[in-house]
Structure 1
Amino acid sequence: MEFCRVPYNFLNKKAAYLTTGLWASKALKEAKGFGEVIEVASSADANYTYIPKDYVIPADADYFHFTANNTIYGTEIHIDPDSPVPLISDMSSDIFSRPVDVSKYNCIYGGAQKNLAPAGMAVIIIKNDALGKVDRYIPTMLNYQTHIDNGSMYNTPPTFTILSALESLRWLKAQGGVREMSKRAVTRAAKLYTEIDHNKLFVGTAEVEDRSYMNICWVMAPEYQELEEEFLQFAQSRGMVEIKGHRSVGGFRASCYNAQPMESVDALIACMREFEAKH
């Protein structure tokens, strides 16, 4: 929905998009129906295993859109990019995992289902003076101003999901807020990446400087590829479930969102070491 609503509400003439994965490409596709869209860079040439750095954002663009974290490929933009135009970002999979300078953004959006609540709700952060600058008619339900004017109660709200989000935010605040979440995320990811880099059976897939703190992706080393299914079964027998990588890339993926305790990471590392010892 937001891939469509963002250009509906913010794209008047031209927008710039950075393509770093499947979800970023879907956002780009939707935006093309609303005006001129400039793809400033793409990492599709390497199956989205890195974040492009060398690109120019048109100074006359209405906004620059990027996907902060790429769950399928295990890459992440760890800082708020410098831009001559306002930023808009899909932060579905890393929202509330680190501090963000919201003053740089016209809009931050994300589904709740990773770091906040069960699926069924989106979080939208919009700068107060960012709306009302497009010439087109915007259908009532798709107009962000409608939901602002109605206190996010224009339609029947998903009350359970909202309650879950409230409890998650209370927990997050009690734990020390997004700064503490960031520290934990970096520590969890560093431990797991260290094991991947030192274990003879495994190889990380993302460029080191662009590795995600939320989604750690890896594959079997070339000489051990025949062991992929065996490792999945081995891990499952030790309580490691749902670590199979996305069907488009294969391999493995460990999602380390805010609620993931360090004990889970340690258990996975122990499993990887035990499997290495067998081979």
Structure 2
Amino acid sequence: MLNNPRNALNFSGGPGALPENVLAQVQSSIIAVPETGLSILGMSHRSDYFEAIVRETENNIRTLLNLPADFHILFLQGGATQQFSMVPMSMLRNKRHGAEYLDTGYWSRKVIAEAMREGPVRVVWSGESGGYRRLPSEDELSFSADAPYIHYVSNETVEGLQFQRILGRDDVPRVCDMSSDFLSKPCEADKFSLIYAHAQKKHRSRRGDHRVDSRRRRSSRAAKPAGFSRLPSTG
């Protein structure tokens, strides 16, 4: 039985509800982690115990997503918004053909604006004229084999629109912002070149933490280093 019935249902746009036994463990760890006697908030990020936490977290994600060994899991700062600019900085700079983006709502608009600062962008489909009330059908989409990558947001939380299928072509790298539905359902992660998600949307964590959860082997389409004329945006 729940000690706090208000935790039973959570319709927040942000973090999902956590089991009370997890909350209790977090509460006790703030005072002291049994294995170390130290508060989790004061523990060194270079300590063996913390490194073990990171390894366990990575292994759990790899298992849940069934990620092959050639995928890398990165834990980064800056939130998913930072990936709006880091992705095109890495994959779009100096490209002759435009990256292909879907404009399906609030977060897509922010993504596209950042990408346009780095290189050519082709908006494959936009829901703006219809007030972002629907997602495109397969017949409405046409993807180019020359695009350096295709990007879309899997779940637009502001508009309440969620894709139930994987978009794009198998011969073009797929990039997806899965911040609001990451690990909430089975995912064919091996069909993507890069998935990113910020921790506070579905999984309570420090604000600004995020995961780049499945970057595949380096693609021949990745941009060559060209120096950084600016820093990535964090929103």
The 2-side partners of 1:78 and 1:52 are apart by 11
The 2-side partners of 1:29 and 1:138 are apart by 21
Matched, 1:133 2:216: no
Equivalence for 1:109: 196
- 3-state secondary structure, aligned to 2:219: coil
Equivalence for 1:258: none
Equivalence for 1:46: 130
The 1-side partners of 2:227 and 2:136 are apart by 33
Report deviation, 1:49: 1.1
2:182 aligned to which of 70, 77, 95 = 95
Structure 2 vs 1, CA of residues 65 and 82 (structure 1 numbering), >3 Å: closer, same or farther? closer
- 3-state secondary structure, aligned to 2:200: coil
Equivalence for 2:84: 3
Matched, 1:61 2:147: yes
> Retained in 1: the 8 A contact 2:148–2:221?
no
Report deviation, 1:82: 4.0
Equivalence for 2:167: 81
Structure 2 vs 1, CA of residues 82 and 64 (structure 1 numbering), >3 Å: closer, same or farther? closer
> Retained in 2: the 8 A contact 1:15–1:36?
yes
Equivalence for 2:210: 122
> Retained in 2: the 8 A contact 1:80–1:100?
no
Report deviation, 1:86: 1.2
What do you get for the CA RMSD once the two structures are aligned?
2.3
- Report % sequence identity: 32
Equivalence for 2:14: none
> Retained in 2: the 8 A contact 1:18–1:66?
yes
The 2-side partners of 1:96 and 1:111 are apart by 12
> Retained in 2: the 8 A contact 1:8–1:138?
no
Report deviation, 1:79: 2.0
Structure that is richer in helix per residue: 1
Unaligned runs of 5+ residues in structure 2 are 1-81
1:52-73 per-position Cα deviation (integer Å, ceiling 9, x unaligned): 1212111100100000000011
TM-score (norm 1): 0.48
Q: Which has the higher contact order (CA 8 A, sep 6+)?
A: 2
The 2-side partners of 1:142 and 1:61 are apart by 24
TM-score (norm 2): 0.56
The 2-side partners of 1:37 and 1:132 are apart by 15
Unaligned runs of 5+ residues in structure 1 are 144-279
Equivalent residues, number:
143
Equivalence for 1:177: none
Report deviation, 1:28: 0.6
Higher mean C-alpha deviation, range 112-121 or range 53-62: 112-121
1:251-278 per-position Cα deviation (integer Å, ceiling 9, x unaligned): xxxxxxxxxxxxxxxxxxxxxxxxxxxx
Structure 2 vs 1, CA of residues 4 and 98 (structure 1 numbering), >3 Å: closer, same or farther? same
- 3-state secondary structure, aligned to 1:128: coil
